[in-house]
Amino acid sequence: MSDLTHPRPDDEPALDWRDGGVPVSQQFDDPYFSLGGGLEETRHVFLAGNDLSARLRPGFHVAETGFGTGLNALALAQVATVPVRMTSFEAFPMSRAQLEQAHAAFPDLSALAAQLRDGWGQGVIRVGQVALTVVLGDVRRTLPAWRDAADAWFLDGFSPAKNPQMWGADVMAEVGAHTAPGGTFATYTAAGHVRQALSDAGFEVLRSPGFGRKRHMSRGRLRTSDG
């Protein structure tokens, strides 16, 4: 991948833009965030699903599959009052111009979004109290090579039906292997094969009320060695 700040046109994901400025991947035919309220869904699924309001502490590490527009990172930065880390795995990074167009849908996040774009392409991007690292490439290669562990996971790839490789048992096993003791995950999907793969990866998997039209979502905590 070339410089993220000034990518070649062929490097940019092909996007359509729907009402309200929602980017939709032409490759996966799936929106990057909810058509019915992207920021509210992020807060419900990822922040509340991982109980972050009660858990954030200095050095807390969030990891994410699917950086997309960076909305989840911005929502985390909005609530983080202490320094935390975030690592996001992304195979098809947007250009800075595409990020700017997507971020226009969230005026309340404009200052944080500007920080993200200003740092786009740097090794560590400072967004409020969040030290963000974006790892480029296929998560099936990059996650096994990662030498860290997360306290909480945001599993936010495109739909399992449209991007099954990102939700395979191999990737979910790596999520479990790269989770700190007592670590958690949350995701918008309640697909049975994803839930089973996460259970097999070592998580106690719970089904919870979803956001908007989605009846259910999934969340869970890594099981302890004695249970």
SS3 string of 169-207?
HHHHHHHHHCEEEEEEEEECCCCHHHHHHHHHCCEEEEE
pTM: 0.93
DSSP-derived pairing of the beta strands 61-65 and 150-155: parallel
CB count in 10 Å sphere of residue 163: 16
Gap between the Cα atoms of 18 and 9, Å rounded: 21
What is the reported pLDDT for 215? 85
What is the reported pLDDT for 3? 46
What is the reported pLDDT for 12? 86
Q: How many CA atoms, within 13 angstroms, populate the side-chain half-sphere of residue 185?
A: 34
What is the reported pLDDT for 188? 95
What is the reported pLDDT for 6? 45
Q: Which residues of 13-50 are buried (b: 16+ CB within 10 A; e: fewer)?
A: bebeeeeeebbebeebeebbbbeeebbebbbbbbbbbb
10-residue stretch averages of pLDDT, the chain, 227 residues long: 45 86 91 85 97 98 97 98 98 95 95 98 96 97 98 95 95 98 97 97 95 89 78
Q: The tokens of 76 are what?
A: 């985390």
Q: The tokens of 203 are what?
A: 């998580």
What is the reported pLDDT for 126? 98
Gap between the Cα atoms of 37 and 125, Å rounded: 26
